[in-house]
Amino acid sequence: MKDPIAALEAIKRIKDLGVELFIDDFGIGHSSLSYLHRLPVNALKIDQSFVRSLSADAVSVSIVQSIIELGHRLTLEVVAEGVETEETCDQLAGLGCDTIQGYYVARPMPAERFGDWQLQYEAGRGAAPH
């Protein structure tokens, strides 16, 4: 980033417009704890690499639980990416995760299909019962 101060000011102006800001893929790559301190974000999105191994890996459970607790202590919403099964959904709910994202809820779809999908989902006929 060539001018981090200008970038931060631009982010603040965007947030002032009512846009919610998320830190994506939290826990890997360039998403760092320093962003939580410097950026005016609304939520953390837990990277799917941790979410997908929840049922088989105690270390992933500890990492996900720690991210959820950290997010909540910072009054952030916590979103889990890559949720593909009811078991994973239930496990995340038990850990206190706020929102899930993934094939368990719905596969990617064109915007024009979303309204119909939402009606079916709310009527209990969607991909996920939650």
The answer to whether 20 and 43 have CB atoms below 8 angstroms apart is yes
Q: Name the residue ranges covered by the structural domains of the chain.
A: 22-122
The CA-atom distances, in angstroms, between 45 and each of 9, 70, 76, 89, 124 are 23, 12, 10, 15, 26
Task: Say what the pTM is.
Answer: 0.81
Question: CA 78 to CA 118: how far, in whole Å?
Answer: 22
Q: What is the dihedral of CA 53, 59, 62, 65, to 10 degrees?
A: -20
How many other β-carbons are positioned within 10 Å of the β-carbon of residue 57? 13
Output the tens digit of pLDDT for each of the chain's 130 residues.
Answer: 677 788 889 999 999 999 998 988 887 776 567 778 888 899 999 999 999 999 888 999 999 999 999 999 999 999 999 999 999 999 999 999 999 999 998 999 999 999 999 998 888 855 544 4
Q: What is the CA radius of gyration of the chain?
A: 16
CATH assignment of 22-122, among 1.20.120.520, 3.20.20.450, 3.40.50.720, 1.10.3300.10? 3.20.20.450
User: Is residue 18 classed as helix, strand or coil in its secondary structure?
Assistant: coil
The answer to whether 112 and 127 have CB atoms below 8 angstroms apart is no
Q: Which residues on adjacent β-strands are paired with residue 99?
A: 79
